[in-house]
Amino acid sequence: MQKMDAVLQELLKIRPETDSYLPLLSSQASIRNYTATHVVKVKVPKRRRPEVSRLGVPEWHKDPPPAPQMVGTAHASPAPRYTTAHASVFQEDSSKKSPWLGLVLYSHAPPNFARPMYHNNAQVAGEVQLHLEKPASLGSIDVWFLLELDTLLDIAPPPFVCMTVCVWNRKMGDPRVLQDTSPAPFKGKIPAGTYCFPFEFPALPDDVVIRYPAGERIKNKTRVPLPPNFSLTSNSRTLAGFSGNLRYTVGVNVKREGFGSFDAAFDTPVQYLPLAKPAIAKTPNAFPYLPTHADWPFAREVADGWTLTPFGSRGKFRGHRVQVEGVLGVPSPAVYTAGDTIPFSLLLWSDDATTLAALAQPSSIDIVFAKSDLSALSAIDPKDLSSRSVERLMEGRIWLHEDGRPEGNNVNAPAATSNPFEGTAQRPPSPTESFEDFDAEDEQDASLGKNVVRLDGEVCVPACSHPSFRFISMGREYLICVLIKHPDYVALSPKGTSGVYGETPVWHVLDRFHNTTNVNANANANYAELPVKGDAIPLPAGAYHREVVVGHVAGEREKRPPSGAPRIVAF
């Protein structure tokens, strides 16, 4: 081994103009592989399971800087004015009277969407409506905006985003006055009538601070972009016992005064969907030149504008022990949106020509665009392929490189299935460079240049409900998966697989307003003209309207008060 390392050091000293006789050495692993087979007989690591995806995994700091923009993404297209108003009312169970408290929120939600929807840096705006049939003794009316996470691992932690606005209290004067520059504290009961209290929150932040969820470490903080709403339940064997919910809420708290009175509170769930778009598209570079099997990497790497992911299997073909290895390549950075076509290339090698001829047939290869729901520590700092549930969304197609791209549709697109992609979520963790199941008959000449087949293909990105994201305890990523199966091939290693399996991650983004031309700021929007969806309190001609109140980010000591009665959730 020392002799091999000495030769390795000499190879690294060779000047570029003198190393033309060497194969392409794309990584140090390739160099060690090449020298090992020519200098000394050693056990070379095998390519087995694909490397765990680290796409989107943040860096940890003691004092984290702002979250960097994902490589390969650009800012989303500008959003237009708000288009919809969603209304909800608070109805006390013990009362059969008409509702006395309501909330209206303006947003970018589609007309048929049941909840308000917001995007990057949105300024949440709305109004609290109050209808009193008789005078009432109220102390204050507050509105809260919250991003909260509930999981079985951490129940009811502090909110990650907390903003508040007091639309009225006694210090703000008479609620019937539109604007009072020097209000006197209001005393007594609020007279009967209908009141409207408009409000605005500050723009939503770009990112939030999260802490490392396991163990103690000095660098335990990072910033990540605001995640979308997300709910995960234990409907898979790999997620058994786990459930969690990422939710955004706008809540109203009304403080009642008087002996025996209960404060009123109700919540309106809202939807947050982060937007981005791929950077300017460009024609992919030619697939990297890998002249021999010895030059293939042992770990995922980027070369010549392509992300290369090695994988492999050991098994039996018609009773004979064989090895199969592959490299799955996609253009880098792998950032795509709905409707994009992702080109890929696949290299396959086997120590048996008959096995390779059978497995390299396009009919033996299943190419799938899949989603992967992540839970627990695998979401924010994955170490293995456990704690995830993989589901196929779209099939791609593949062809032999020498045959060229066939004519016809870009992809085969059958209906999506709810069945997890076979052989992905059940595999136990294992390092990428592995000597598992190594025996003498597995030893091969690693510099063998024969028995290599190249295939090309493409897969179309379907419309997906969520973009890629990583957060504490939960996340969503997307994969291009390849599963090679043949009736005569029985996979022995890695254990738990039904064929030769490989995967590579892609980052999925959503750009909702790329076709929108009427882009204006919401500051001058006429909210009264927006169509209202839901139940709202009617505002008669004599209703009292207050000036807009702008909220603020809540301080560490500002917390939403608990409700004395069960909190009502609208929608």
So where are the chain's domains? 2-56+294-508, 73-277+526-569
Tell me the C-alpha distance between 111 and 114, whole Å. Answer: 8
pTM of the model: 0.82
pLDDT for the residue numbered 314: 94
CATH 2.60.40.10 for domain 73-277+526-569: no
User: In this predicted model, what pLDDT tens digit does every residue of 98-130 receive, in sequence order?
Assistant: 899 999 999 999 988 999 999 999 999 999 999
Regions of the chain where pLDDT drops below 70: 1-45, 93-96, 234-240, 408-449, 517-524, 563-571
Tokens at 57, concatenated? 């995994």
Q: Which residues pair with 127 in a beta bridge?
A: 104, 198
Which residue in 357, 272, 374 sits closest to 318, CA to CA? 357
CA angle, 410 as apex, 404 and 415 as ends, to 5°? 135
C-alpha–C-alpha distance, residues 194 and 289, integer Å: 74
Q: Which one, of 192, 171, 188, 190, lies nearest residue 180 by Cα?
A: 171
Q: Do 295 and 25 touch, CB atoms closer than 8 A?
A: yes
Q: Which residues pair with 86 in a beta bridge?
A: 105, 533
The pLDDT of residue 234: 66
Q: Is the peptide bond before 494 cis (omega within 30 degrees of 0)?
A: yes
